[in-house]
A = this chain, B = another copy of it.
Amino acid sequence: MKTTLRTHTCGELNASNINQKVTLCGWIQKIRNLGGMTFIDLRDRYGITQLAFNAETNPELCKQIEPFGREWVIQVTGTVAERYSKNKNIPTGDIEILAKSINVLNESITPPFTIEDESDGGDEIRMKYRYLDLRRNPVKNNLLFRHKLSIAIRNYMNNIGFVEIETPMLVSSTPEGARDFVVPSRLSHGEFYALPQSPQTFKQLLMVAGFDRYFQIVKCFRDEDLRADRQPEFTQIDCEMSFVSQEDILQTFEGLIKYIFKETKGMDIGTIERITWHDAMKYYGSDKPDARFGMRFVELNDVLQHRDFKVFNEAELVVGIVAKGCAHYSRKQIDSLTEFVKRPQVGATGLVHIQCQEGGNYKSSVDKFYNQEDLAAVAKKCGAEEGDLILIMAGPRLKTQKQLCELRLEMGRQLGLRKAGEYKLLWVVDFPLLEWDEETQRYYAMHHPFTAPKPEHEAMLETHPGEVNANAYDLVINGTEVGGGSIRIHDKNLQKRMFKALGFSEEEAQKQFGFLMNAFQYGAPPHGGLAFGFDRMCSVLSDADSIRDFIAFPKNNAARDMMLNAPTPISDAQLKELGLK
């Protein structure tokens, strides 16, 4: 990294460089004036190097640096010397630079927050001054990690024959799916491009074109109301292969994921377990289970619906989990769990517990209805032992599963079972093809309208659409969906039947996806693929909660760039040129 302005970076000098004359450039992290000696920590992307100024031997220089402040940019020339008190925490900690001359490259006014690992700046101000936030190690390291990951992915994909092909950003709007961002056309007033929600149709066309193995790390766009951790523009690792079965795809990308873990974290993750969507719902109440810990659901209808407890008897599902070693939970602790499930975000009406006490006694919130034998039977069914706490919920199946899922995750958190640095990967397979929507009274594609039904279920597409399973799969890491995909329909007629099952008229299907269906007339190969959320993958691999920390210039929850203050009004001349009001 030697340039005209520096001989070394602030991260590379060590004991082997002692007595060398060097020139460094960087930002002033800290100035410590100890009377006779002044020390400056000089920072750049690569590290921190200590500069030393001796008031006795070099008074002019000490005078020169007096006005210096945090974040000034300086160029310093001096000699590398062994440090009196070494700093074992940084690679340059054995040495310091005895400064001979200094050149101020730029001054800085006082930054609005501290440039430290833990900053005193709030979220909003750090977003507004993102270029200063990016100077902080945690944020900087996130972007360096993202880069490292993208290089690793590209090289792996290239080595196994995948070709990166750029697909267009100015495409056509498709009402099916999420809301599009649109771009008014200046040359055709009243017409709009759309920004792609994903390159889905393009990658399928590339398979029709015979590219066999395609990938792309690519920006995608969704104009959705932003939840805590969504961004209007996000990055996908988009992949597609021809002449493959689902198994080929799972194997191929299991290879990629293993490589990523090895390359970026030095971890060997072994074979990725698989679970059907049905089992994921049954045992975890979620299609993206955090399987770092067990606490699997146990269905209890058969052992709890034989007494007079109406709540259980009338429930479609009675289901419990075992919190190991939590029988000692106080009344207050249990009340707070009940409050947790009653929060509107979870929405349960109540929580039943059974404490498996020493000596084989059971204490329960439903003691009135169930005797010790009943409770022992429940404990046996759950595999609960002395000292365990059984937590039970009841109600409509899907709703109750989702509520218990929330409780399970909360218990996992309380018990420290969701360990940072531990990774549990799952392929969730055999998704249903379609999902019924009560509001619009129609089926929606669970993945997207191009997903192929399992061949053995194809015949049910018209008769029992809700029971058709898809050749679709998700990759889940620690309870987060990191990617997903499917085998696609490559047969024109099956695609027509699928559109029909989704309630599209022939005209609608032709209007929205005509170019794809036309393409399928000219020899479409069997194909399938998947897409990973790249921002999400970065955050999951870093045990971080938010994807925003892995995006250089993210938008806030109102889809606004706080630094640019975008979006902004445009000029009347621009509006007129676009034929807009």
A: residues with CB less than 8 A from B are 1, 3-6, 9, 25, 27, 43-46, 71-73, 75, 105-109, 111, 129-132, 134-135, 140, 143-144, 146-147, 150-151, 154-155, 158, 161, 163-173, 175, 179-188, 190-195, 202, 205-206, 208-213, 219, 221, 223, 232-233, 235, 241-245, 247-248, 490-491, 515, 519-526, 551-553, 555, 558-561, 563-571, 574, 577-578, 580-581
Contacts and interface: CB of A to CB of B under 8 A. Distances in A.
B570 A192 contact: yes
Contacts of A577: 179
Contacts of A212: 1, 9, 44-46
Contact of A243 (B5, B206, B223, B559): B5
Nearest to A219: B169
B559 A185 contact: yes
B4 A523 contact: no
A580 B242 CA distance: 42
- Give the most central of A151, A202, A247, A568: most B CB within 10 Å: A568
Contacts of A4: 244-245, 247-248
A-B pairs, top 6 by smallest CB distance, nearest first, are: A108-B523, A134-B209, A172-B566, A191-B567, A4-B245, A185-B567
28 contacts: A25-B525, A43-B210, A75-B243, A106-B491, A107-B523, A109-B522, A129-B519, A130-B205, A131-B205, A134-B209, A134-B211, A140-B210, A140-B211, A147-B163, A154-B154, A165-B552, A166-B551, A168-B555, A169-B169, A169-B221, A170-B567, A182-B183, A185-B567, A188-B560, A192-B567, A202-B553, A205-B563, A515-B563
A523 B106 contact: yes
A175 B569 CA distance: 12
B3 A210 contact: no
A182 B181 contact: no
A80 to B, nearest CB: 19
A219 to B, nearest CB: 5
A71 B523 contact: yes
Given A515-B565, A567-B185, A567-B188, A525 B106 contact: yes
Given A1-B161, A169-B219, A490 B106 contact: yes
Nearest to A110: B522
A34 to B, nearest CB: 24
Given A46-B212, A71-B523, A129-B519, 7 more contacts: A1-B212, A44-B210, A151-B158, A170-B181, A173-B568, A192-B567, A205-B553
Nearest to A535: B166
Contacts of A519: 129, 131
B182 A165 contact: no
B169 A132 contact: no
A570 B182 contact: yes
Contact of A561 (B150, B168, B563, B568): B168
A94 B226 CA distance: 60
Nearest to A108: B523
A526 B580 contact: no
A75 B574 CA distance: 55
Most buried by B among A241, A553, A559: A553
A350 B211 CA distance: 52
Contacts of A581: 580-581
B184 A526 contact: no
Contacts of A168: 233, 552-553, 555, 561
A45 B210 contact: yes
